[in-house]
Structure 1
Amino acid sequence: MKFPNDADGDALRSLYKDGVNFNKPQSVEFFVAVPDKVIGEKLSQVLKGEGFNCFLDQDDETEEWACCCSKRMLLNYNELIKIQNNLNNLSKPHGGYSDGWGVFVD
């Protein structure tokens, strides 16, 4: 399987090499960096309205806030890019931005 030569493609390539089944929906967690807790709570409600399961989290070391938004989906490069772009567009008015994704392999 071929993947683009960028961070998202590298992550997918690694998952593929680890034997993750790309034909089975996976739980993908998208991270959206936010300036603070209050804005994060507001943005979480917006993202829940868009169909994401969200919770707000603060990093213990950096004390930075993030909305963690999960969605069950097939691992598809174009869809991952589309979702990250959508998260960027939704979070930008709140001072946030899409900050990567990860997979909890079933």
Structure 2
Amino acid sequence: MSWPDDADGDVFRRLEANGFDFSKPYAVDYNVDFESWPPASAALEVLRSQYGSIEVFEPDEDGDGYVLFQVVGPITYEGVTSVQRRTSSTMQPFGGICESWGVMH
């Protein structure tokens, strides 16, 4: 398969190299980072309304805080990047951005 030469494409290439089965649905974890902490309660409400359950990870000695949500389904480049774009656009007024994701396999 061929993916764009960007960070998301790199993840897809690593998954493929490790024998990832793209034909199965998976839970994809998405992280939303915020310019300031804590995120506005309205931002959390929007994320809950869009994605259901969310987890808020407070800042600690290992890094900044973030909010995590999951989307279950097939894993495609367009699917992952569209969730990131849509979430970043929605979170922009709250100082949030969705640039990272991961999947356990």
Q: Which amino acid aligns with 1:74?
A: P
**Is residue 53–residue 71 contact of structure 1 (8 Å, CA) maintained in 2?**
no
**Alignment map for 1:12-51 (pairs within 5 Å):** 12-34=12-34, 35-39=36-40, 41-51=41-51
Tell whether the 8 Å contact from 2:39 to 2:94 is kept in structure 1 after alignment: no
Gaps of 5+ in 1: none
Q: Structure 2, unaligned stretches of length 5 or more?
A: none
Paired with 1:15 and 1:53, the residues of 2 have a C-alpha distance of 26
**CA RMSD for the aligned pairs?**
1.6
Taking the aligned partners of 1:52 and 1:7, their CA distance within structure 2 comes to 27
CA contact (8 A) 1:44 1:55 kept: no
Separation (CA, whole Å) in 2 of partners of 1:52 and 1:20:
27
Q: CA deviation at 1:78?
A: 0.8
Q: Any runs of at least 4 consecutive aligned residues in structure 1 with deviations exceeding 6 A, and if so which? A: none
Counterpart Cα distance in 1 of 2:52 and 2:11: 21
CA contact (8 A) 2:48 2:54 kept: yes
Distance 1:19 1:55 in 2: 29
Following the alignment from structure 1 to structure 2, what is the Cα–Cα distance between the partners of residues 63 and 77? 27
Q: Give the alignment's TM-score, normalised by structure 1.
A: 0.87
Name the CA distance, whole Å, in 2 between partners of 1:62 and 1:37.
17
In structure 2, the partner of 1:94 is 94
**Cα deviation code 1:19-40 (max 9, x no counterpart):** 111010111111110221252x
TM-score (norm 2): 0.88
Q: Which whole-Å CA distance do the structure 2 matches of 1:77 and 1:52 have between them?
A: 22
Percentage of matched positions with identical amino acids = 26
